[in-house]
Chain A
Amino acid sequence: MVRRIEKDATRFKHIVRSQIRKDLKKYISRGELIGRKGKNLVSIPLPQIDIPHFRYGIKERGGVGQGEGEAGAVIGSDAAGTGPGAGDQPGEHILEVDITLDELAELLGEELQLPNIQPRGASRIVAEKDKYSQIRRTGPESLRHFKRTYKEALKRQIASGTYDPANPIIIPIREDKRYRSWRTTYRPESNAVIIYMMDVSGSMGAEQKEMVRIEAFWIDTWLQHNYKNLERRHIVHDAAAKEVSEDIFYHIRESGGTRISSAYTLCNQLIDERYSPAAWNIYPFHFSDGDNWGSDDTQECVNLLRNSLLKKVNMFCYGQVKSAYGSGKFIKDLQEALGNEENLMMSEINDKEEIVDSIRTFLGKGK
């Protein structure tokens, strides 16, 4: 039965969705959703959905409470979001709605008009899966289908006249027994790996990393939506590269010089070791401020890209965030050398407002 409230609940969801969609660009550039991510849900504050009234601000209002404590004792705080005494006063909590990451990705896709990703070589990568969808007459007792067995026994007993409605005891014999059985199905599987690389040399400041982090959040969300099985690896580099955990990735700060080729070499190595292009969709993302140590190293990067990386990956994305110290030359060099490679995406991110455009550049091709 469809219950009455479903209609209102659907309406509410619709309003939430359109409100989020309207404000999506704001959410993207402010990055405020990152801390609000649970396993599958993001909780989004949407105070503008609430119906406004003439009412007092809670902060100014104060009130009466009950309990222990001397004058001056703290009973709640803004930071913890625990205003006191607001229990039965409606509308004083900030309205937050939870939406799934999948829904968020859909909204992102709709708003930025991102095409669905066509997994590379989807048909080549096949996974087996057993599905219990059949019934057999033989099998292990652990798979016995109780209902079917009972039915068979009942049929037999009625047909043979041994069924007594006054004493309806059903005793199945061996011929009555039915067992669940499986069928193996083959489905194309799509595995993907994102390899994030970031320049952590001295010239990359907190602001630059914040931008990278925001962008990575949305890339994750989108690719997660498109690939069931998504892995993520993180590589940081200055003059040398190493693999780190996600947490360290965003917080580490080194002071050395910059050799981008070190990261590309490590990335290439990772792919060869673990992610065969036949089985994986591979997405390396590299963020730096565009400073590299000498043109020799840049040349080496170009060679690495042209000769190995670009042949293995779905696309290779390079995002150049603006910093006060970086020369921003690297993107120009890449453009010159590899400008006509189809699966090399490049974008410059000068401030947070441009993150949206950068995401569109990276994900807009549907690769």
Chain B
Amino acid sequence: MNLTPELNYIREEIEGYARGYGLDFFRVIFEVLEFDEMNEIAAYGGYPTRYPHWRWGMEYDHLSKGYAYGLQKIYEMVINNDPCYAYLLHGNALVDQKIVMAHVFGHADFFKNNYWFSRTNRKMMDEIANHATRMNRHVSRYGQDRVESFVDQALSLENLIDYHAPFIKRKESMRVSDLEEQKEETPHARRLKSKPYMESFINPAEVLRAEEERIRETTRRRKRAFPEEPEKDVLYFLQEYAPLERWERDVLSIVREEAYYYAPQAQTKIMNEGWAAYWHSKIMTEKALTDDEIIDYADHHSGTLGAQPGSLNPYKVGIELFRDIEDRWNRGKFGKEYDECDDMESKRRWDKNLGLGREKIFEVRRVHNDVTFIDTFLTPEFVEAQKLFVYGYDKATGNYVILDRDFHGVKQKLLFTLTNCGQPHIEITDANHKNRGELYLVHRHEGIDLKHDWAQDTLKNLAAIWHRPVHLETIVEAKGKLISFDGSEITEEPIKPESEPAPQAPEQ
């Protein structure tokens, strides 16, 4: 349903304010939906048409129940596309629709201008519909069960992508000069410094020869290594090299494309929501609110920003950090002089009347993602004011408990949960393991184990796609482990932790 004349009038008003503040966005098309239509579109990840899959049904079931029991209600949804599509819930109070519109313009501006979204497909509406058409064709040709179970397998690997891949120039564009560089080089063993009369003792000839041989051997191996460098974009690798039927390859490419499309939203969750919340608050309180709407606005705004005890609300952290940055740059609380000031009181009162805040936050929204955002702008003062803490699981009591409130601890933990979108770092190091075409993956363990049963199940799915045995090198309870699946059973063998710096070419 299109906007009613009244809503359309409001839209024009709010859009005017948004542009007036300097927000810059694609055309935004609003539609009004009933709650069940809203749930449907939300289950489809914001799109009206998706390929057939039970997982949407599961999500829909979940959302409908949440709505029926009054636990949750989706107020707003907006998708990154040109034009932007945004959905309003029919029956919401007018003031709610105003908040949502203001919020949506914030998101729309973020989508268009944030660097991490710059490589996303802006015609995704059409692309996703095309995916549905292609998938439906596969279903009618090969049967629902077959296609569905392959989609399940592919989806099981959907987080094995390289979040930076859209910005990397692909290897296909290798030039001739690259080939030149690959010319055989005579290996030189490094000599230790010595006086001439000591030379034969400090750098004995046989040791040098052995070392040269070793270098030659590693270069030889590296040249034969496949992939040449560890490949983090596992979906890409499978799509290119796994022995698949054409329709299967197509399914993989659909899953991969959609994973990359949604990736920036996961990478900028805090910033994106914070930015939108910042602007709905700005637009509403400075321009759009009428007197009688104040109470309802305050109620809903605080509802959105409220945090459950112990959980981190991206809206809250985002908006507060943007406001903090604006304030700091307005008052000049940055740079060498500020950093080196030791007096807390004068630091607190610091004000150079620079007025650079607004400009700064627009710059921040253009270049940062959550990781760099937190890394650059999180301050001890902010952590304290926002009462942030690190929590952990206490095995003895089965409780989650607060560990500490130390700035460095909080920052480190926060960065860790955001890095790689909180997904484990896993890459393919060898696709011809044991010279038998087996796939060897390494989990770059960063202190936290994988969810074990899921890791096994995922490995099975991977093997189904690779059609050869697969191995995952990881660490389980501080011990190196190689989990393997050969098509019939899972085996786990201890490996020495020294192999942690990835075997470029594992033992033959």
Contact = CB atoms under 8 A, between A and B. Distances in A.
B454 A54 contact: yes
A16 B423 CA distance: 28
A79 B159 contact: no
A183 interface: no
A56 B53 CA distance: 25
A66 B312 contact: yes
A11 interface: yes
Contact of A76 (B40, B310, B389): B310
A56 B451 contact: yes
Contacts of B158: 53
A54 B455 contact: yes
A9 B65 CA distance: 13
B388 A65 contact: yes
Contacts of A51: 55, 152, 155-156
B458 interface: yes
B307 A66 contact: yes
B475 to A, nearest CB: 11
B40 A4 contact: yes
B448 A15 contact: no
Interface in B439-462: 443, 448-455, 457-458, 461
Contact of A5 (B40, B423, B450, B472): B40
B399 A98 contact: no
A39 interface: no
B403 A62 contact: yes
Size bin of chain B's contact surface: 35 or more
Nearest to B154: A51
Contacts of A3: 36-37, 40
B61 interface: yes
Interface in A142-184: none
B448 A54 contact: no
B317 A66 contact: yes
Interface stretch (B236-244, B275-283, B410-418, B429-437): B410-418
Contact of A55 (B307, B417, B451): B451
B450 A54 contact: yes
B422 A62 contact: no
Contacts of A9: 56-57, 60-61
Contact of B449 (A60, A64, A72): A60
A273 interface: no
Interface string A3-28: 11101111111110000000000000
B49 interface: yes
A35 interface: no
Contact of A64 (B44, B152, B390, B448): B390
B319 to A, nearest CB: 13
B54 to A, nearest CB: 4
B400 A76 contact: yes
A8 B311 contact: no
Size bin of chain A's contact surface: 35 or more
B313 interface: yes
Nearest to B418: A64
Contacts of A57: 448-452
Interface string B44-84: 10001100111111101100010000000000000000000
B23 interface: no
A74 interface: yes
A294 interface: no
Interface string A272-294: 00000000000000000000000
A320 to B, nearest CB: 38
A82 B335 CA distance: 42
A147 to B, nearest CB: 25
A74 B43 CA distance: 34
Contact of A11 (B57, B308, B405, B455): B57
A71 B413 contact: no
A336 interface: no
Contacts of B155: 51
A66 B443 contact: no
Contact of B310 (A13, A53, A71, A75): A75
B391 interface: yes
Contacts of A55: 159, 423-424, 450-451, 454
Contacts of A68: 309, 387
Nearest to A68: B387
Contacts of A59: 393, 395
Contacts of B40: 3-5
Nearest to A12: B57
Interface in A42-86: 49, 51-79, 83-86
B391 A87 contact: no
4 closest A-B pairs by beta carbon, nearest first, are A12-B57, A75-B310, A8-B57, A84-B310
23 contacts: A4-B48, A5-B56, A8-B56, A8-B57, A12-B55, A54-B424, A54-B454, A60-B449, A61-B417, A62-B393, A62-B400, A62-B413, A64-B389, A65-B307, A65-B388, A66-B317, A69-B389, A71-B403, A75-B309, A84-B400, A85-B312, A87-B313, A98-B65
Given A58-B393, A62-B393, A84-B310, 13 more contacts: A11-B54, A12-B54, A14-B54, A55-B450, A60-B393, A63-B413, A65-B388, A66-B316, A66-B388, A68-B309, A69-B402, A75-B391, A79-B398
